[in-house]
Amino acid sequence: MKCRVCRGPAVIDVRRHNANFCPEHFLKLCRDQVAKAIEKHSMLEPGDRVLVAVSGGKDSLAVWDILLELGYEADGLYLGLGIDGYSDRSGEVARRFADERGLSLEAVDLPGEYGFDVPDGARAARRVPCSACGLSKRHLFDEAARRGGYDAVATGHNLDDEAAVLFGNVLRWQGEYLGRQRPVLHEGDGFPRKVKPLVRLGERETAAWCVLRGIDYVVEECPMAAGNRHLGYKEALNAIEERSPGTKHDFYFGFLARAADRFAEDVEAERGPLGTCTRCGSPTGAEVCAFCRLLERAGGHLPDGRTPGSEPTPDGPVPVALGPTRQGRP
């Protein structure tokens, strides 16, 4: 197996590109793919300050590492979700990555600062854990980005993730989600810009990036992911990709090029006037934002100790349904 670029010994084959690479040229391929994604989708400008959502897994550490390699100023934010065992280990790995490289990593602990964890939140809201978790992550990353004056929040979503989410959205024709499923969501209405610089890399490639760069990452999946629909979508797409390499890439990028705009109307239809949450001050279409409603149901509190629901609201009881937030999926 020879490297496509230098003909030296290759260590990885990338079937989607019908090519093999040596370590040096594989790492260059990854950097180039991320730079291309950033440029093509206008994710970042030189000099932008980026807040990276760090979980301790391969994707979030790879995106942080690659953004730094590409010269961006990137800090990390780790959210302790209070998931038994898993959260402690992932927090340690994220901290070690930052400490060894002298990087800035802020940590927000959901149980310590907000008085509830993801399993509590899911039980209280009668939602699957990933729903309560995703809602909390979006809220807290948005808030941290506003507080820190960052230009964008970067997440480690890769091609496999995006293709699986797209597959799920297409299976149910979720027009609003399809209209928002883009590698960049521009800032506005008080929300920071959200970018997904790894959309041109598959998860096998982000894992290989970490191995070749000597990055220690949490290999185990979050235990709450079991039963998550997206795992099933990923397996189905993996079976297709195995037979026809490049299918995920064509599915996702074909959607962006030829279909995403067709769902703009669905997004518009969901747009209502935006105000400010009376509890926490974040932008929301309701009087109280979805995160504060989740806090209330889960028996949590805001970091200053205020308990949501303890103060009277002018319009009576607070609605507790947890809908998608304005920017939809992370």
Interface ranges with ligand Q46 (CB under 6 A):
81, 118, 129-130, 133-134, 222, 224-225
User: Which CB sits closer to Zn ion, 1 or 269?
Assistant: 1
The entry of ligand Q46, Zn ion, none near residue 22 (CB within 5 to 8 angstroms by kind) is Zn ion
Query: Which of ligand Q46, Zn ion, none does residue 279 bind (CB under 5 to 8 Å by kind)?
Result: Zn ion
Contact with Zn ion (CB under 5 A) among 135, 208, 292, 298: 292
Query: What DSSP state is assigned to residue 225?
Result: G
Backbone angles phi, psi at 275, to 5 degrees: -125, -155
Tell me the residue ranges of DSSP E strands in the chain: 12-14, 19-21, 49-54, 73-80, 105-109, 152-154, 184-185, 193-195, 275-276, 283-284
Neighbouring C-beta atoms of residue 310, cutoff 10 Å: 9
| Cβ 281 to ligand Q46 shortest distance, Å | 25
Q: Least CB distance from residue 230 to ligand Q46, whole Å? A: 9
| Separation of alpha carbons 165 and 171, rounded Å | 10
The three-state secondary structure class of 64 is helix
Nearer to ligand Q46, 231 or 264 (CB): 231
> For the chain, how far is it from start to end, CA to CA, in angstroms?
38
Indicate whether 277 belongs to the interface with Zn ion (CB under 5 A). yes
Residue 83 or 289 having the CB closest to ligand Q46: 83
CA-based angle 46:49:50, to the nearest 5?
110
Element (H, E) at 29: helix 23-40
In the complex with Zn ion, which residue's Cβ is closer, 16 or 248? 16
For residue 317 the two structure tokens come to 């009881």
Among residues 279, 297, 298, 330, the one that binds Zn ion under rule CB under 5 A: 279
Nearest-angstrom CA–CA distance, 72 and 70: 6
**Residue appearing with tokens 């809220």:** 139
79 binds, among Zn ion, ligand Q46, none (CB under 5 to 8 A by kind): none
Instruction: Select 111 or 190, whichever has its Cβ closest to Zn ion.
Output: 190
Q: 269 touches which of ligand Q46, Zn ion, none (CB within 5 to 8 A by kind)?
A: none
**HSE (CB half, 13 Å, CA atoms) of 295?**
25
Q: Which does 134 bind (CB under 5 to 8 A by kind): Zn ion, ligand Q46, none?
A: ligand Q46
Distance CA 135, CA 182 (A): 18
Task: Name the minimum Å distance from CB 33 to ligand Q46.
Answer: 22
Is 184 a binding residue for Zn ion by CB under 5 A? The answer is: no
Q: Footprint of Zn ion on residues 80-119 (CB under 5 A)?
A: none
Binding partner of 164, given ligand Q46, Zn ion, none, CB within 5-8 angstroms per partner class: none
CB 295 within 8 A of CB 283: no
C-alpha angle with apex 199: 252 to 119, nearest 5 degrees?
Answer: 100
Closest CA to 152 of 47, 236, 294: 47
The one of Zn ion, ligand Q46, none whose footprint includes residue 25, by CB under 5 to 8 A per kind, is Zn ion
Provide the token pair at 235.
């397996």
Rounded to 5°, the CA angle 267-271-274 comes to 145
CB of 268 to ligand Q46, least distance (A): 28
Total residues interacting with Zn ion, rule: CB under 5 A? 11
Q: Which is nearer to Zn ion, 3 or 152 (CB)?
A: 3
Q: Which does 245 bind (CB under 5 to 8 A by kind): ligand Q46, Zn ion, none?
A: none
Contact between 25 and Zn ion per CB under 5 A: yes
Nearer to ligand Q46, 129 or 202 (CB): 129
Residues that bind Zn ion (CB under 5 A): 3, 5-6, 8, 22, 25, 277, 279-280, 289, 292
